[in-house]
Amino acid sequence: MNRFASTFVLAAIAFASVSLHAASPVVEPEPTLKLDAFHGLPPATGVGYRIEPTVPVSGFHGQFVVHTDLGDVPADGVGMLRQRVAEVGPAAQLQQMSQSDVFVDALSRSAGATAGAIGKAVANPVDTAKAVPAGVGRFFKSIGQSVGDATSSVAGGDTTEAAKDALGVNKAKRQLAQKVGIDPYTTNPILAKRLDTLANAAFAGGVTIDVALAVTTAGVGTAISVTKTVSNMAWELPPEDVRARNDKDLAGFDIAPGTRNQLLGNDWYTPTLALALVEELKGLGVRKGSSAFATLAAGAETETEARFFIAQLAMARAFAKGGDAIVAIEAPGKLAAFRTAKGGLFVPAPLDYLSWTEGVKTFAERKDLGAGARIVWLTGRFSPTASKGLKANGWTLREDVVLK
């Protein structure tokens, strides 16, 4: 009998009275909910936008739609919804900027230069994500096995980005983004298209960025969902400098070069998100298991999954502030778990609505996770059935956790 099995048997005998083997409830499908069923939403309506009131849940994230004056924008999860709503004002400001005399003239003069001097380097890098799985439901499938060597879903090294930097387009893009308080690498298709168009026009039309910015009003509220330190670096540093900084920091955790290349070469981690991940890892300061975490994070197949891993680190930092330090990171499947100084297992779940699916049931009933306290924190809410099933299997739950 292995160590985990022996520990579990002893714990089962010691705690028989709490019925850790209580029958689990029947699994349930993910629901369609109203807006008020979700925690931490921005206002349902505001200047230039309206959130669709009916929200299907897929992959434990609400699949929101923001109707804006410039078009509809999807949002996979509450966190992304907050960012998309915050981007409504900047999108309108960039639209207004594009209609100014300075940019109208620059756009006209840049039409020929775009094809000749810039070519493919100025193409909009943001494609509409069709057929991309929503939420992080796959993390709760086939989770009976520990994570192996992850492979990045996107080949690293975007040559068009290097071409853009050589031409000064990316610098103009970062300056414009800073002016209106947004992520220069936003995946909002409406916002990214306008940002690219204006940056390309400023360069190819022969307009200095200072002149271009002079035609705007003051920046609107910040619409970049990371810390001030990260946002400043994303605005100021070119992508190659961001990558070099991140690589150096990851090497400091003794993460192997191959793993670092997989993680930093995964295009779902924009320079902004890669900075956020590395800064959160540094903030947590846990070396044991950091390589396993990097391997896990390198396997992100969507932006939502990349953001999930960043949020897991942030939640682990918040948990540690409560007095039970994080001492190791583990990978009991496709999501990270954190071993605490008191011997517990902490699973941070940045999810909107956790239903009692077959995958969640399988994870909750696993007997190889140790006999200490088993804790799940959720940024959203548990379904009544999920709450019942997890508690029946010995998990301590907390919902509506606020990420700062």
In this structure, what is the dihedral angle of CA atoms 225, 230, 232, 234, given to the nearest 10 degrees? -90
Smallest CA-to-CA distance from 113 within 233, 232, 200 is with 200
As a whole number of angstroms, the distance between CA 402 and CA 396 comes to: 18
349 forms beta bridges with 378
**With contact defined as beta carbons under 8 Å apart, do 190 and 73 qualify?**
yes
CA separation for the pair 253, 218 (Å, rounded): 41
CB atoms within 10 A of CB 248: 11
Q: Quote the pLDDT of residue 327.
A: 97
Q: Quick one: pLDDT at residue 317?
A: 96
Let me know if 335 is exposed, middle or buried by CB neighbors in 10 A (0-12, 13-18, 19+).
buried
Which among 349, 342, 370 is positioned nearest to 20, based on CA atoms? 370
Instruction: Identify which of 320, 354, 325 has the alpha carbon closest to the alpha carbon of residue 335.
Output: 354
Q: How far apart are CA 222 and CA 310, in angstroms?
A: 20
> Rounded to the nearest 5°, which phi and psi values hold at 171?
-65, -45
For residues 339 and 316, give the distance between their C-alpha atoms in angstroms, rounded to a whole number.
Answer: 10
Task: Cite the beta strand spans of 169-289 per DSSP E.
Answer: none
80 burial class (0-12, 13-18, 19+ CB within 10 angstroms)?
A: buried
Strand order across the beta sheet in which 337-340 lies: 326-330, 337-340, 345-349, 374-378, 395-398
**Residue 15 φ/ψ, nearest 5 degrees:** -120, 30
pTM of the prediction? 0.83
- The mean pLDDT values, 10 residues at a time, for the chain of 404 residues are 40 37 81 95 97 97 96 96 95 82 65 42 39 74 42 43 64 88 93 87 66 54 64 91 97 97 96 96 97 96 96 96 95 91 96 96 88 93 97 96 85
Output phi, psi for 238, to 5 deg: -70, 160
What pLDDT, on a 0 to 100 scale, did the predictor assign at position 359?
A: 93
The closest alpha carbon to 332, from 303, 391, 292, 272, belongs to 292
Indicate if the alpha-carbon torsion angle 33, 34, 35, 37 is positive or negative: negative
Token output for 55: 């929200």
> How many residues does the structure list for the chain?
404
Residue 270, SS3 per DSSP: coil
Residue 243: name the closest of 196, 287, 317, 185 by CA. 185
Q: What is the pLDDT of residue 114?
A: 45
For residue 86, which of 73, 98, 100 has the smallest C-alpha distance? Answer: 73
CA distance 21 to 365: 9
Q: How far is CA 175 from CA 23, 37, 202, 219, in A?
A: 58, 39, 11, 12
Containing 56, the helix (H) or strand (E) segment is strand 54-58
pLDDT of residue 404: 72
Classified as helix, coil or strand, 46 is: strand
Return d(Cα 238, Cα 22) in angstroms, integer.
55
